[in-house]
Amino acid sequence: MSGQIETAAADVKSASYYKHHVFFCCNQRTNGEACCNDHGAQKMREYAKDKVKALKLAGQGAVRINQAGCLDRCSEGPVIVVYPEEIWYSYVDSSDIDEIVTEHLQNGRVVERLRIRPAS
């Protein structure tokens, strides 16, 4: 049975339009609650998008940087999630974004120091 699941997962991954699809939470709350956009999420999304384009990593079969509404992890924010691996990251500044782009998106290595673990 395990082999069938792995084969199905490989088929889904190979059928994906992008190798990596990155979602930046850019939610802005108006009631004073914590939100990713209070930490410059929109600016960092633009930065990541420009960096991916400059490295010629953007487009079909490569990387797509998208904006998302609330990803419901505000207390850990700002946050991004990278699919299809379902790896969640928090970041502080552009150097963290550089590391995620270079290590994860370009070289396929998870950046453990920025990774957010699933809630237990």
Give me the pLDDT at residue 8, please. Answer: 45
For 1-120, where are the E strands, in sequence order?
20-25, 63-68, 79-83, 87-90, 115-116
Give domain status of residue 98, yes or no: yes
The answer as to whether 31 is a domain residue is: yes
Model confidence pLDDT, tens digit, residues 40-97: 999 999 999 999 999 999 999 999 999 999 998 878 879 999 999 999 999 999 999 9
Domain contains 43: yes
Residue 10 lies in a domain: no
Largest distance between two CA atoms of the chain: 49
- At 20-40, the pLDDT tens digits run 999 999 998 888 888 888 889
Q: Is 77 in contact with 39 (CB distance < 8 Å)?
A: yes
**Range(s) of the domain holding residue 46:** 16-116
Tell me if 3 is assigned to some domain.
Answer: no
Quick one: pLDDT at residue 74?
79
Number of helical H runs and strand E runs in the chain: 3, 5
The model's pTM is: 0.83
Number of separate domains in the chain:
1
**Is residue 28 situated within a structural domain?**
yes
Convert 98-112 into a string of H (helix), E (strand) and C (coil): HHHHHHHHHCCCCCH
With respect to residue 45, please indicate whether it lies within any of the assigned structural domains: yes
Domain holding 75: CATH number?
A: 3.40.30.10
State the pLDDT at residue 6: 46
Exposure string of 41-78, with b = 16+ CB inside 10 Å and e = fewer, is beebbebbbebbeeeebbeeebbbbeebebbebbebbb
Q: Is residue 69 situated within a structural domain?
A: yes
